[in-house]
Amino acid sequence: MNTQPTSRVLIERATPQDLELLLRIEQDSFSAPWTRKMLEVELNGNQFSHLFKARSICDGHASGDVVGYVCFWVVFDEVRVMNLVVEPSARRQGIAGDLVRSMLTLGQAHGAVRAILEVRASNLAARGLYEQMGFRETATRTRYYTNPTEDAILMEMNPLVIAGGEPSRASS
Ligand SMILES: CC(C)(COP(=O)(O)OP(=O)(O)OC[C@H]1O[C@@H](n2cnc3c(N)ncnc32)[C@H](O)[C@@H]1OP(=O)(O)O)[C@@H](O)C(=O)NCCC(=O)NCCS
């Protein structure tokens, strides 16, 4: 894919070499983090899966530090957000927004016309982010999550529209 520079980060496709970094970010951010095996499957073994990483930019150059990632599936005409995380020290700088726009751009290029996701009811940061990006809450799944047990809020963007930020470059 073409890399997509934004003002804050460089967004690129993650590779199996990024596994340790992704695992660390995951463990720093979730009460029930994805395991190494789960990440390996998304990186190597799932034809629908895409994983984009965000690398910080310093003095116009990518520093190499991975500060966040998004994992999503493009299943026919639908983008399914599987995971999204930005490391705690890099939050509130628009990086998740950049990752979501890159995800939607690739989804659109592959023919997706809508996007869906689930989010913990207590996760007001993520709900706020998705709302800002144009997702709307459509339903609640009671006690969907474990560790801790919690409802899931289902969100949908239909039709898929890419809101705000730099126009994205074509990704393949
Ligand atoms: C949710 C998360 C990915 C947001 O990442 P981020 O890079 O900080 O988000 P952005 O800077 O792009 O924020 C964009 C918008 O989202 C909303 N938002 C982000 N963090 C928020 C917070 N803590 N509280 C309220 N709204 C928030 C705001 O509307 C924000 O726009 P603003 O800064 O102009 O007000 C990040 O907090 C995170 O990694 N959390 C832990 C993992 C997680 O919950 N992932 C989601 C799984 S579904």
CATH code of the domain in which 14 resides: 3.40.630.30
Ligand 1 midpoint to CA 73 (Å):
21
- Output the CA 129–ligand 1 centroid distance in Å: 5
Specify burial of residue 93 (Cβ count, 10 A radius: 0-12, 13-18, 19+).
middle
Task: Determine if ligand 1 sits within 6 Å of the CB of residue 132.
Answer: yes
3-state secondary structure at position 85: strand
Closest residue CA from atom 12 of ligand 1 = 94
Q: How far is the CA of 148 from the centre of ligand 1 (A)?
A: 20
Which domain covers residue 148, as residue numbers? 4-157
Write out pLDDT tens, residues 88-130.
999 999 999 999 999 999 999 999 999 999 999 999 999 999 9
Residue 66 contacts residue 86 (beta carbons within 8 Å): no
Q: Whose CA is nearest to atom 30 of ligand 1?
A: 129
User: Is there an atom of ligand 1 within 6 Å of 9 CB?
Assistant: no
Quick one: which atom of ligand 1 is closest to the CA of 87?
A: 39
Question: Is there a domain that residue 127 lies in?
Answer: yes
Nearest atom, ligand 1, residue 86 CA? 39
Burial of 5 (0-12, 13-18, 19+ CB in 10 A): middle
Q: Residue 92: CB within 6 Å of ligand 1?
A: yes
Counting Cβ atoms within 10 Å, is residue 84 exposed (0-12), middle (13-18) or buried (19+)?
buried
Does 167 map to a domain?
no
For the chain, percent of residues with pLDDT exceeding 90: 78
Helix segments in 35-153, DSSP class H: 36-44, 95-109, 124-133
* 169 located within any domain: no
In percent, how much of the chain has pLDDT > 70?
A: 88
Asked whether residue 43 is domain-assigned, the answer is yes
Is the entire prediction scored with pTM above 0.85? yes
Asked whether residue 170 is assigned to any structural domain, the reply reads: no
Query: Does ligand 1 have an atom closer than 6 angstroms to the CB of 133?
Result: no
Q: Please give the single-letter amino acid code of residue 69.
A: Y
In a domain, 162, yes or no: no
Would 106 be classed as within a structural domain? Answer: yes
- Measure 125 CA to ligand 1 centroid, in angstroms: 4
Q: Is 125 in the pocket of ligand 1 (CB under 6 A)?
A: yes
Residue 163 within any structural domain of the chain: no
Going by pLDDT thresholds of 50, 70 and 90, the confidence category of residue 165 is: low
Structural domain total, the chain = 1
Q: Whose CA is nearest to atom 3 of ligand 1?
A: 85
Which pair of tokens denotes residue 61? Answer: 């150059």
Residue 36: pLDDT over 70: yes
**3-class secondary-structure state, position 104:** helix
Chain segment 11-27, per-residue pLDDT in tens: 999 999 999 999 999 99
